[in-house]
């Protein structure tokens, strides 16, 4: 389908190409209202829809959502089973929204650990949206950053032993090529909801120089207004990536070109 028209408010400064979100607080949001935790996860789907649509409308290039961590498998069996059912429901019901907004869906993580039915719906949605030219939506599923690095190192060792890679040539960029999705640039902005001040094993390699923004509201309450607040905060910051820039104006663009190999 054709590229959607971009409508972006003026936030007063730089705009992130890649936003990553730790969607926290669904269960707490429900418990504070005397509801079952799973109802918070259901309400969180509405936030996913609104944030995805708004990011696509504004011209965000990539949006990565921390949907299910490797550690989440430790939760009660009933909660995990229900979360997997909600994932299937989301993948089926939101295909029309993804197509309408020209969004291409993909996923990162140890996807083979997902239930077969959920994985099948994920593959169907990936295939249906593959030709879309707008924003890239990545779901981090059964994802852990330490696991990602461990998996990458295993592949590096395999290729070195097979003679496909010289161990002496291994550097940061070599390792990056073995990550789950090396083609997507690092996130410019990482948002976490529910007021927690930690990364929770999310994109630790990729978020080394990301700007962090913590919202006090739980994920089911994080909607367009809260997203815009995060973007205004991002626009007000000057990114130096560990170095000094004389004018400060081009540091963000130069760093992004460097990460893309341009």
Q: What's the pTM value of the predicted model, to 2 decimals?
A: 0.90
Domain ranges of the chain: 18-144+186-246
Which CATH code is given to the segment(s) 18-144+186-246? 3.40.1180.10
In total, the chain counts a number of residues equal to 262
Query: What b-and-e string marks burial along 22-54, b requiring 16 or more CB atoms within 10 Å of the CB?
Result: bbbbbbbbbeeeeeebbbbbbbbbebbbebbbb
Q: Which two tokens stand for residue 3?
A: 């590229």
- Of the residues 10, 26, 72, 171, only one is catalytic, namely 72
Query: What is the per-residue pLDDT across 92-122, written as a single tens digit (0 to 9) for each?
Result: 999 999 999 999 999 999 999 999 999 999 9
Query: What is the per-residue pLDDT across 19-72, written as a single tens digit (0 to 9) for each?
Result: 999 999 999 999 999 999 989 999 999 999 999 999 999 999 999 999 999 999
Residue 63's region, left for phi above 0, alpha for psi from -120 to 50, else beta, is: beta
Task: Count H helices and E strands in the chain, helices first.
Answer: 9, 6
pLDDT, position 239 = 84
- Of the residues 10, 24, 26, 181, only one is catalytic, namely 24
- Mean pLDDT within 184-188: 97
Residue 72 annotated in active site: yes
Query: What is the per-residue pLDDT across 126-158, written as a single tens digit (0 to 9) for each?
Result: 999 999 999 999 999 999 999 999 999 999 999
């Amino acid at each position: 389908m054709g590229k959607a028209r971009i409508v972006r408010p003026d936030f007063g400064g730089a705009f992130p190409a890649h936003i990553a979100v730790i969607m926290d607080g669904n269960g707490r949001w429900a418990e504070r209202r005397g509801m079952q935790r799973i109802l918070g996860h259901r309400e969180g789907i509405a936030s996913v829809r609104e944030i995805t649509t708004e990011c696509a409308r504004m011209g965000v290039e990539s949006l990565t959502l921390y949907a299910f961590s490797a550690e989440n498998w430790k939760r009660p069996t009933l909660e995990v089973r229900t979360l997997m059912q909600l994932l299937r429901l989301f993948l089926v019901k939101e295909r029309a929204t993804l197509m309408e907004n020209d969004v291409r869906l993909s996923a990162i993580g140890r996807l083979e650990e997902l239930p077969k039915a959920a994985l099948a719906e994920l593959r169907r949605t990936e295939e249906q949206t593959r030709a879309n030219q707008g924003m890239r939506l990545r779901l981090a599923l059964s994802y852990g950053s330490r696991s990602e690095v461990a998996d990458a190192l295993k592949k590096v060792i395999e290729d070195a032993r097979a003679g496909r890679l010289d161990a002496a040539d291994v550097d940061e960029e070599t390792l990056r090529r073995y990550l789950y999705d090396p083609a997507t640039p690092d996130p410019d902005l990482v948002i976490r909801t529910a007021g927690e001040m930690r990364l929770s094993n999310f994109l630790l390699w990729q978020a080394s120089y990301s700007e962090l923004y913590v919202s006090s509201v739980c994920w089911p309450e994080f909607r367009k207004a809260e997203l815009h607040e995060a973007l205004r905060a991002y626009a007000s910051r000057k990114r130096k990536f560990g170095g000094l820039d004389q004018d400060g104006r081009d540091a963000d663009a130069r760093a992004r070109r460097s990460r893309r190999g341009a």
